[in-house]
């Protein structure tokens, strides 16, 4: 698309106005006064007939002139000399208009000051269209031209950019709007995206956030999630390449949860909340489209799990008597953060009868022992998602989160005799060397506890993990959310 041609007077006064602005209406008589002196050009943003007090108005409803002049507030009055802006003012301030115009005593019947209104050319959506129209996007990603008869949604499937569900076509306008959600440079290299170790910039993250259906205000959370997933300790390549069930699980803490409307309560791990759904999906699409992590290629999962579409939720900090997961992991209280955990689908823990913390913690522990296999210990990390009714049992008894951790680790000690291969008629298990010892289901620090869910129902959940760390495992990683 050719850049629009904009012609401006070399000398004289320019006014940019819109009818839908009380201050512009207020200054219409002043514009008539200046026009009578000669040398005034008025550009109108929304109604070519406004202001009627000026005979020779110029239609700028396309907003090309307003964009070139970088108008942000209307009315704007500009004095040009030798083809360049010499001075300007905006809104209505009699002293400033007299100074810029060079005429004294104008607008004598008007108040001395009135603030202006936002210009149409800088409104969200419009500014992005103008940047594209004028070739000022500064985007570096490859453009993909579609044929006249191509459906843009079908094209994303045909080119392999989708996770199996429709994605939002990432037009330049949409990507620019997404990038407005962060102050970071679109060209900033965030890291090398596995498995292909492709360069991953803020711009490429924004493109995939658009495709996932994110709003611009979600982008800082997506960026933090990506940074966590690229940490070598998380081993994103390993999470993809393992034949286990895992994918990235995101837990969001801090003020950003409420600012972007995340769900931490009823159905927190399910469908229905845009922020939860699209933030997790954005990370998955980035790994697929930038890193090349596709199913039946590098992604070698035997079964996978539905969470590999998206697995993201917020912790219900307001309802909890415990410190948030992010604080437990070293982030300052009140600071937004994302924790990424390599997790399975959800394993339910149903206990509707325990009314004391000792009984409920035993119920949790026995359920935790089953993940991976009852014969394997240590087996993996795990995230315990405690529902409000279960948390209340611990709250009423005065149990801190540290106390619950201590009890669960104690209860997850298993006699080695029960873990030997063949014991209990199960071929799976450890070598005879573990007999006579005690082995814990989890490594130290391998359990994570968060609070989430609806206020009714004594149903908590376990998200099993891939590995307990090491050269072929994955460790949880937490990153602060920054603008």
What the chain holds in terms of domains, given with CATH numbers, is: 12-133 (3.40.30.10), 154-480 (no CATH)
Q: Quick one: pLDDT band at residue 470, thresholds 50, 70, 90?
A: low
Q: Contact at 8 Å (CB) between 135 and 90? A: no
Q: Quick one: pLDDT band at residue 471, thresholds 50, 70, 90?
A: low
- Candidates 62, 94, 96; CA nearest to 79 is 96
Instruction: Please give the pLDDT value at position 472.
Output: 65
Q: Which helix (H) or strand (E) is 250 found in, with range?
A: strand 247-253
pLDDT at 3 over 90: no
Q: What's the average model confidence in pLDDT over 68-89?
A: 97
Backbone angle region of 334, left / alpha / beta, with phi > 0 → left and psi within -120 to 50 → alpha: left
Q: Which helix (H) or strand (E) is 40 found in, with range?
A: strand 40-44
Q: What's the average model confidence in pLDDT over 70-93?
A: 97
The number of beta carbons lying within 10 Å of the beta carbon of residue 410 is 11
Q: Quick one: pLDDT band at residue 346, thresholds 50, 70, 90?
A: very high
pLDDT at 237 over 60: yes
Burial class (CB in 10 A: 0-12, 13-18, 19+), 265: middle
Whole-number average pLDDT of the chain: 95
Whether a cis peptide bond, with omega within 30° of 0, leads into 107 is: no
pLDDT at 379 over 90: no
Q: What is the pTM of this model?
A: 0.89
Quote the percentage of the chain above a pLDDT of 70.
Answer: 99
End-to-end CA distance of the chain: 33
pLDDT in tens, 161-180: 999 999 999 999 999 999 99
pLDDT at 41 over 80: yes
pLDDT at 216 over 90: yes
CA distances from 281 to 74, 218, 306, 316 (A): 40, 12, 11, 21
Q: What's the average model confidence in pLDDT over 301-322?
A: 96
3-state secondary structure of 265: coil
3-state secondary structure of 74: strand
Whether a cis peptide bond, with omega within 30° of 0, leads into 378 is: yes
pLDDT at 149 over 70: yes
Instruction: Please give the pLDDT value at position 2.
Output: 77
Burial 277-287 (b: 16+ CB within 10 A, else e): bbbbbbbbbbb
Q: What is the C-alpha separation between 238 and 221, in angstroms, rounded?
A: 23
3-state secondary structure of 167: coil
Q: Which runs of consecutive H residues, i.e. helices, occur in 354-400?
A: 357-368, 388-397
């Amino acid at each position: 698309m050719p850049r629009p041609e904009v012609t401006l007077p070399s000398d004289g006064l320019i006014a940019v106005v819109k009818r839908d602005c009380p201050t512009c209406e207020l200054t219409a008589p002043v514009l008539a006064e200046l026009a009578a002196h000669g040398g005034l050009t008025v550009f109108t943003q929304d109604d070519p007939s406004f202001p009627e007090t000026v005979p020779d108005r110029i239609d700028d409803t396309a907003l090309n002139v307003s964009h070139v002049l970088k108008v942000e507030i209307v009315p704007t009055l500009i004095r040009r000399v030798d083809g360049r802006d010499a001075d300007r003012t905006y809104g209505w301030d009699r002293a400033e208009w007299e100074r810029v115009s060079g005429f004294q005593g104008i607008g004598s019947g008007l108040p001395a000051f009135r603030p202006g209104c936002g210009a149409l050319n800088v409104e969200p959506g419009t500014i992005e269209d103008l940047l594209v129209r004028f070739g000022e996007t500064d985007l570096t990603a490859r453009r993909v031209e579609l044929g006249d008869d191509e459906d843009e949604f079908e094209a994303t499937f045909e080119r392999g950019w989708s996770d199996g569900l429709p994605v939002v076509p990432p037009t330049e306008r949409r990507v620019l709007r997404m990038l407005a959600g962060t102050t970071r440079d679109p060209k900033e290299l965030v890291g090398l995206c596995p498995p292909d170790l492709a360069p991953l910039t803020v711009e490429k993250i924004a493109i995939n956030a658009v495709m996932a259906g994110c709003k611009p205000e979600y982008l800082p959370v997506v960026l933090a999630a990506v940074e966590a997933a690229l940490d070598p300790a998380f081993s994103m390549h390993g999470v993809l390449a393992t034949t286990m069930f895992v994918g990235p699980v995101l837990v969001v803490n801090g003020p950003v949860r409420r600012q972007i409307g995340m769900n931490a309560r009823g159905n927190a791990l399910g469908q229905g909340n845009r922020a939860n759904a699209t933030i997790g999906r954005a990370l998955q699409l980035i790994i697929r489209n930038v890193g090349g992590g596709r199913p039946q290629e590098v992604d070698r999962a035997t079964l996978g799990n539905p969470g590999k579409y998206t697995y993201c939720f917020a912790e219900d900090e307001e309802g909890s008597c415990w410190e948030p997961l992010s604080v437990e992991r070293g982030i300052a209280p009140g600071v937004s953060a994302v924790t990424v955990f390599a997790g399975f689908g959800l394993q339910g823990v149903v206990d509707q009868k325990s009314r004391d913390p000792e009984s409920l913690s035993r119920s949790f522990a026995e359920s935790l022992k089953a993940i991976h296999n009852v014969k394997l210990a240590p087996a993996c990390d795990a995230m315990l998602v405690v529902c409000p009714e279960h948390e209340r049992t611990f709250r009423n008894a005065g149990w801190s989160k540290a106390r619950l951790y201590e009890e669960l680790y104690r209860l997850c000690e298993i006699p080695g005799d029960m873990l030997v291969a063949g014991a209990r008629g199960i071929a799976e298990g450890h070598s005879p060397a573990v007999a006579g010892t005690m082995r814990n289901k989890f490594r130290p620090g391998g359990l994570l506890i968060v609070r989430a869910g609806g206020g009714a129902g004594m149903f908590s959940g376990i998200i099993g993990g891939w590995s307990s760390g090491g050269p072929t495992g994955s460790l949880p990683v937490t990153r602060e959310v920054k603008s």
